Chain A
Amino acid sequence: MTLTLATAGRVLSQLRGDHRTVALIMLLPCLLIGLIAWMFHDQPQVVDQFGPMLVGLFPLIVMFLVTSVATLRERQSGTLERLMTTPIRKGDFVAGYGLAFATLALVQAFVVVGFALLVGMDVAGPLWLVVVVALLDAILGCTLGLAASALARSEFQAVQMMPAIIFPQLITCGLLMPRDQMPEVLEWLSRIFPLTYAIEAMTSLAAGDEWADVRGAVGVIGLFIVGAVVLGVATLRRRTA
């Protein structure tokens, strides 16, 4: 646990020194939501309907990219190799990164939800749940990014992990077409993708549902986070060629 905290502290120190990255993490989702609110300024119901989804989606994508690049950098700079000769456990490493980025995601969730409210998003369901789901989505993005970075051997591969892993989920999550209208195979496929549950939870909160209605989807997101952490630990190698 001490080593997890030491690692999280170290990652946060690195982020503190990188103001531009922190600014991008906080402002980019706001900018995108702002553009959409502007585009539909005379149809406020569009922002009410889609705002919560975007508040969940944009941070997930941003966090996925940032964590997958951060861990790839650690592999390539040789620091990961050095860490593997120290008493740190693989779980400490992954949890340390997860904890550091979750802290960032918490701030991000407040900033992004706050901004969405500012540009006119009206959530029918409880607002605190929107913040919680946005936070979980961002953490999901982090943990998926950590797991995905194990598959990448170069920066070129790492940047393509985002479209490779996130875009298929985006297409089948119900944003483009209601899931019950999709071909059966795709509908079935969407059930095993975590993003589906992130969007489902936000859609139902936008429609005015309560905790009891979304807890299933929230639980599934939680399970995917745990699964991605386990995958991240399992794919980390102490010995390399």
Chain B
Amino acid sequence: MRKNAVVIRDLRVVRGDRTVIDGLRLDVPAGSVVGLLGPSGSGKTTLMRAVVGVQDKVTGTVEVLDDVAGSPALRHRVGYMTQDASVYTDLTVVQNLRYFAALAGVPSPGKAVADAVAVVDLGGHEKQRVGTLSGGERSRVSLAAALVGDPELLVLDEPTVGLDPVLRRDLWAVFRRLSAEGRTLLVSSHVMDEATQCDRLLLMRAGGLVADTTPDELLTSTGAPDAERAFLALIDAADAGSATADAGPADTHEETAR
């Protein structure tokens, strides 16, 4: 059994003329749920895109399931959910999932589609066009499309954004179950409460890693009462120790304003 599902060394990503990630190093332990947290514009999506192999201008090492990120052999084994619901709005829920099941080469697509619908709790909406669903429902279809191929590694970009607390809790239970079954999940979020549900936490800010820790360690090391305040404490500490801190906050504001 491998130790790490994702191994990243000296990762550098250039977008346009800006280096958005510079010298990142991290591991995602196999069979765990790893939370990728950080403000909007901190590089979470870019990092995830590098892991699934669709990010251009990547240097350094990105190893996924003992293979080079993005290599053809990995495309059966990695499921990716983009931040915006990337499913076909003019198709029904089932039509979407059947297509993604076919692409993943699932042996019994009918069952896989039914299972994925059940996991994201969209029973009763199977024949509904995705365009007529609410935002939260659409993002669940998008999540189901990543689950339907039953991949070993799931890379989920903000899967719970816009969902109500009950559904969020249920989805995190699903993530826990999938990891208990041996799958690895890399889940980004900017809801700090969700941090407590993860085995490990990666805190990102301005393209760098602020902390690679566990939920318990995060709270004890900062002495903060909750994850949100612990995160702020870490950022303040990082800013105080950083000479280039002036570029960071401005970027973040820009991203939020958009």
Contacts and interface: CB of A to CB of B under 8 A. Distances in A.
Contacts of B91: 10, 13-14, 17
Interface string A157-180: 000000000000000000000000
B95 A240 contact: no
A83 B103 contact: yes
A153 interface: no
B99 A10 contact: yes
Interface residues of B, number: 35
A86 interface: yes
B186 to A, nearest CB: 13
Contacts of B129: 17
A84 B70 CA distance: 9
Nearest to A2: B102
B103 A79 contact: no
Given A14-B91, A78-B82, A87-B104, A241 B145 contact: no
Interface string B13-28: 0011000000000000
B78 A14 contact: no
A86 B104 contact: yes
A85 B86 contact: no
Interface string B63-100: 00000001010011010101011111111000100011
B53 A78 contact: no
Nearest to A78: B86
Nearest to B49: A81
Contacts of A78: 82, 84-86
B75 A82 contact: no
Nearest to A92: B103
A85 B16 contact: no
Interface stretch (B4-12, B54-62, B220-228): B54-62
A215 B73 CA distance: 43
A216 to B, nearest CB: 40
Interface string A69-80: 000000001110
A3 interface: yes
B34 interface: no
Interface residues of A, number: 26
Contacts of A241: 15-16, 55-57
Contacts of A184: none
A6 B54 contact: no
A152 interface: no
Given A10-B95, A87-B75, A237-B56, A81 B86 contact: yes
With a 10 A CB-CB cut-off, give which of A85, A88, A237 has the most chain B CB atoms: A85
B103 A3 contact: yes
Interface string B130-149: 00000000000000010001
A79 B100 CA distance: 11
A85 B88 contact: no
A238 B54 contact: yes
Interface in A207-241: 237-241
With most chain B CB atoms within 10 A of its CB, the pick from A2, A9, A87 is: A87
Contacts of B89: 77
A58 B87 CA distance: 32
Given A82-B80, A240-B54, A14 B88 contact: yes
A14 B99 CA distance: 12
A18 interface: yes
Output the residue of B78, B88, B105, B145 with the most chain A CB within 10 A: B88
B54 A81 contact: yes
Contacts of B72: 87
A81 B53 CA distance: 10
Given A77-B86, A78-B84, A85 B15 contact: no
A86 B86 contact: no
Given A239-B53, A241-B16, 12 more contacts: A3-B102, A6-B99, A14-B88, A81-B82, A81-B86, A82-B86, A86-B149, A87-B72, A87-B75, A87-B103, A239-B55, A241-B55
Interface of A: 2-3, 6-7, 9-10, 13-14, 17-18, 77-79, 81-88, 237-241
24 contacts: A6-B99, A6-B103, A9-B99, A10-B91, A77-B88, A78-B85, A78-B86, A79-B86, A79-B88, A81-B49, A81-B54, A82-B82, A85-B52, A85-B80, A86-B100, A87-B104, A88-B103, A238-B53, A238-B70, A239-B58, A240-B55, A240-B56, A241-B56, A241-B57
